[in-house]
Structure 1
Amino acid sequence: MDHGTLEREIHIDAHPDTVFDVVSNPRHLREWWPDEAEYPAEPGGAGRIAFGDSWVGFTVVDAVPPKLFSFRWTHAPGETAAPGNSFLVVFELEPTATGTRLRMTETGFRERGWDEAKIAAEYADHVTGWDHFLPRLPAVAAEVGATR
């Protein structure tokens, strides 16, 4: 297995504007993914997210409502996010007849300078994580959409 790119695709019964808000706004992000999120949701916006007491860097790369949101994460807080110290996550949103198709890709496993065993372990951990967290997104989008 290559362990270079992790890809997932889901359909969400919500308008792309709503889905974009759910994947980009720190307030909504923490409803389905991290426990805490602190960052400006604009290109170059640097901050951090937390799972429990463990904080990692989070930097917005692109924010193109309602089509694209991308960020780098897992760099040490205070470091500038770059290909060698972080993962790149890209959310692409495409309108459908009944909502939004969300494509998520995560890259950066091979760029970290790790040996094959570490790459495989990190990749497997992220597969497990995204397979747990992404299915939570539609319910949050439904809630956010209902309040619009």
Structure 2
Amino acid sequence: MSELEIRKTIEINASPEVIFRALSIQEEITQWFPDQAILEPKVGGKIKFTFFSKGAKPVDRDFFPEGEIIEFVPNKKLSYTWTPQDIPDFPRTIVTWSLEQIGQNKTRVTMIHSGFTGKPHELFKEHSYGWDYFANRLAEYCKKK
């Protein structure tokens, strides 16, 4: 069985510190990503995101991914498991954010969502579309900081 991953790389006009805060502080995460967030900023910390349907893509139904932080390197890397509680048989996947400073106040952000198994399917496509949308929201949010 093959494993698929979603990979998004963007350059953001912001420092790694600004971006890492946007990825790891509950009050900032909800400014660009889920409607509600619980994130314990440490290895072994729990994550729980709540996305409420607005009746349109990228979230056309309520969505409740949960997981555990498996890597937490301030201003460089954040990785957590991602298991939507409302989708039966969803594989245990991992979301990893890597930050690389590439200039003064400019950072390359690479997001990899790995662990999808089998052939590309609707859930894979939905997540890929959603990550495009939210990567752009992250960039816009961090530019304003």
In structure 1, the gaps of 5 or more residues are 78-83
1:97-123 Cα deviation digits (max 9, x unpaired): 14100011001111xxxx64xx51111
Higher strand proportion (structure 1 or 2): 2
Q: Unmatched 5+ residue regions in structure 2?
A: 53-61
Deviation of 1:85 after TM superposition, in Å, equals 4.5
| More helix as a share of residues | 1
- Separation in structure 1 between the aligned mates of residue 142 and residue 17 of structure 2, nearest angstrom: 10
Counterpart in the other structure of 2:55: none
Match among 95, 107, 116 for residue 100 of structure 1? 107
> How far off is 1:75 after superposition?
4.8
Using the aligned pairs only, state the percent identity.
27
Instruction: Go from structure 1 to structure 2 and tell me whether the alpha carbon gap of 1:36 and 1:68 turns closer, same or farther (over 3 Å shift).
Output: same
Deviation of 1:25 (Å): 1.4
Residue from 61, 74, 86 that aligns with 2:83: 74
Provide closer, same or farther for how the CA distance between residues 26 and 86 of structure 1 changes in structure 2, counting only shifts above 3 A: farther
Task: For 1:66, give the aligned amino acid.
Answer: N
- So what's the TM-score if we normalise by structure 1? 0.79
**Are the counterparts in 1 of residues 69 and 79 from structure 2 also a CA contact under 8 Å?**
yes
Q: Deviations over 1:57-85 (max 9, x none)?
A: 132111101110111122539xxxxxx84
RMSD: 2.1
- Aligned pair 1:121/2:122, yes or no? yes
- The number of residue pairs the alignment matches comes to 131
Correspondence list, 1:129-148, <5 A: 129-143=130-144, 145=145
Q: Judge conservation of contact 1:75–1:85 (CA < 8 Å) in 2.
A: no
- Deviation, 1:129, is 0.4
The answer on whether the counterparts of 1:28 and 1:140 sit within 8 Å (CA) in structure 2 is: no
